[in-house]
């Protein structure tokens, strides 16, 4: 079974209007997990890319993929920012606009570093770490897999 983008959007809207914070849906082998109110997950965005929507789509992970959250890989003072889901990664809010971040740019945990498109739904990706962007291995417009490194951040020393 598959869900269309319209069906996922309707399910998300219903979650937003409900008193619930989380939804787990499993139908004929298809698993959908929606959550709102969790720290620094991907957020669905509208055309303005600035207005946050309270419901977030979290990765759909096969049973054999291990834990729902992959650990962030740390290498010396570099920290990988992994893709939270499978989809097409975009570095800019719209074609022709400047990227959200470049190498050398400072980021905070809530800084938007890109967008992952899944079933025509745009999901913002946040850095999740404070520091300076050291490397951006993910190409703009490329398909990324869950857990694939989008960028590497040189962690800032704690104040």
Contact 72/147 with Cβ under 8 angstroms?
no
- pLDDT average, residue stretch 13-17: 74
Residue 41: name the closest of 85, 105, 94, 75 by CA. Answer: 85
Of 15-19, 34-38, 64-68, highest mean pLDDT: 15-19
- pLDDT average, residue stretch 49-78: 45
What are the pLDDT digits (tens) for 64-109? 444 334 444 555 689 999 999 889 999 999 989 999 999 999 999 9
Contact 135/115 with Cβ under 8 angstroms?
no
Question: For the whole model, what pTM was predicted?
Answer: 0.54
Residue 57: the pLDDT is 39
Residue 79: name the closest of 124, 11, 134 by CA. Answer: 134
pLDDT band, residue 156 (cuts 50/70/90): confident
| Percent of the chain predicted with pLDDT > 90 | 40
Q: What is the CA radius of gyration of the chain?
A: 16
> How confident is the prediction for the chain on average, in pLDDT?
75
Q: Which domains does the chain have, with CATH numbers?
A: 5-61 (no CATH), 74-155 (2.40.50.100)
Asked if pLDDT for residue 21 goes beyond 50, the answer is yes
Residue 151: the pLDDT is 94
The answer to whether the Cα torsion of 37, 43, 44, 47 is positive or negative is: positive
Residue 14: the pLDDT is 77
């Amino acid at each position: 079974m598959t869900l269309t983008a319209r069906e996922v959007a309707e399910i998300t809207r219903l979650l937003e209007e409900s008193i619930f914070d989380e939804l787990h849906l499993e139908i004929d082998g298809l698993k959908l997990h929606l959550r709102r109110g969790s720290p620094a997950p991907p957020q669905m965005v509208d055309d303005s890319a600035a207005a946050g929507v309270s419901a977030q789509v979290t990765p759909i992970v096969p049973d054999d993929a291990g834990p729902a959250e992959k650990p962030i890989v740390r290498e010396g003072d570099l920290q990988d920012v992994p893709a939270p889901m499978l989809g097409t990664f975009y570095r800019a809010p719209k074609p022709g606009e400047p990227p959200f971040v470049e190498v050398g740019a400072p980021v905070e945990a809530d800084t938007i570093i890109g967008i992952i498109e899944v079933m025509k739904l745009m999901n913002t990706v946040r850095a999740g770490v404070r520091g300076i962007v050291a490397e951006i291995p993910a190409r703009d417009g490329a398909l990324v897999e869950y857990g694939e490194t989008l960028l590497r951040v040189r962690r800032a020393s704690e104040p």
